[in-house]
Amino acid sequence: MTDRQAQPLYFHIDVNNAYLSWEALYRRRELGETEDIREMDAIIGGDISKRHGIVLAKSQSAKRYGIKTGEPVVSAMKKCPTLRSYAPHMAYYRERSKELMALFQKYAPVVDQYSVDEAFLDMTGTRSLYGEPVAFAHKLKDEIKDTLEFTVNIGISSNRLLAKMASDFTKPDKVHTLFPEEIPEKMWGLPIEDLFYVGRSTAVKLHSLGIHTIGDIAKSDVNVLKSHFKSHGEVIYNFANGIDLTLKDRTEEEQKGYGNSVTIPYDIKAAEDAYRTILGLCESVCARLRRDGVQAAVLSVEIKDSNFVVRRHQRTLLSPTDVTDECMRIACELFDELWDGEPIRLIGVSANKVTEGNLRQMNLFDMESHDKLKSLDRALDSIREKYGSEAVTRGTFYKRP
């Protein structure tokens, strides 16, 4: 294998306006409609009386009215009198997603599905099979359009972060590259809002510091960024310089772990509410660990904000654990390092790299409290198993939404 063949190569493939595209496909195929909702003032929304009554996707013409993804449907209706709202058909969307992933697996040695409408393809070593990456990406893009009847963008680079950034360049139905040598020309001139992991609150603070472009972040003093944003400052500094630290292949890790997440029926804006949610998730995850007689060596937290930006942070523990209070404390620390103040709509907690038996390192300072907490957890597990999950509830959850 030549050096060029061995160089890392990633595609990031993202469906163009997935929910709207798939709903248009549903209405044409299943209902026989001839109008294309992508060409109308249209949104994909839901039941206005519930949490799902928010804008999940919008057409280009609806976007011109200032309608934003994540805002309430009732608010969007006020902005555009001619707006049509369509309830999502999620089962149909998942089927289209499965078809797309199956097509990827025909060509890519490794497919890491990142969400329902996007995936990373590890194409390292495939140049001898498919030729030049850009030419093959165009063929793949066209095959998706011809066979699955929707369009995608494909970003190409030597790491996942840059491939993802490239796929967000001009849309729809495009192929873009963003290799490290192209960063100054293609990425540094973009506004900070275009950088992965920069939400509204982070952007406001960056602008107040005189940082307006991705290049400004890349050329900033990382210690100054850390002083304002904690560990998140270092993350965006690395991202601005094209260094990928977090977009790893999570497939193997997730198969060895336990996780749970929840979409909250209101936007969380206070850390206290987030901590309460994290505690509930830790109770669920740790109960499953104890049930299976395993302990986790890695804990991770995921949040999705009201702009649908997803962030993840993880930590390797000093000793594996299955104790709820220990996991809760660490998860809250991870959350504090991760959260930039944006309203939150989803929180997840995962426990990974699990091992059987008790591999805890002896620690004179926490052994007694650890044993007490472990005994408490076992007692709670026993009560709930016998009388139901609601038989005993922590006081912090009492009469809380």
Q: Which residues on adjacent β-strands are paired with residue 157?
A: 10
Total domains, the chain: 4
Same domain, 287 and 382: yes
Predicted confidence band at 337 (pLDDT cuts at 50, 70, 90)? confident
Instruction: Provide mean pLDDT across the span 106-129.
Output: 91
Asked if residue 163 is part of any domain, the answer here is yes
Q: In which band, very low, low, confident or very high, does the pLDDT at 380 lie, cut at 50, 70 and 90?
A: low
Bridge partners (DSSP) of residue 295 are 355
Tell me: do 121 and 164 sit in the same domain: yes
pLDDT value, residue 249: 43
CB-CB contact of 251 with 352 (8 Å): no
**Residue 47: pLDDT over 70:** no
- 283/221 same-domain check: no
Tens digit of each residue's pLDDT (9 = 90 or more) over 4-20: 556 899 999 999 999 99
* 388 domain residue, yes or no: yes
Does the pLDDT of residue 33 top 90, yes or no?
yes
Domain enclosing residue 33, as ranges: 20-89
- Would you say residue 328 has pLDDT above 50? yes
Same domain assignment for residues 101 and 231: no
- Please tell me the total number of residues recorded for the chain in this structure: 401
- Per-residue pLDDT at 21: 97
Is residue 38 domain-resident?
Answer: yes
- Give the span between the Cα atoms of 363 and 6, in whole angstroms: 45
Domain boundary residue, one of 89, 122, 144:
89
pLDDT top residue among 193 and 46: 193
* Residue 114 sits in the same domain as residue 83: no
Q: Which residues of 74-84 are buried (b: 16+ CB within 10 A; e: fewer)?
A: eebbeebeebe
CATH number, domain containing residue 163? 3.30.70.270
Confidence of residue 250 (pLDDT cuts 50, 70, 90): very low
pLDDT 10s digits, 260-314: 888 877 788 888 889 989 998 998 888 888 888 888 888 999 998 877 778 888 8
Closest among 190, 120, 129 to 159, alpha carbons compared: 120
Do residues 282 and 295 both lie within one domain? yes
* pLDDT beyond 70 at 359: no
CATH code: domain of residue 35: 3.40.1170.60
User: What is the rounded average pLDDT for all residues in the chain?
Assistant: 84
pLDDT at 398: 39
Same domain assignment for residues 214 and 363: no
Categorise residue 70: left if φ over 0, alpha if ψ from -120 to 50, beta otherwise: left
Catalytic residues: 118
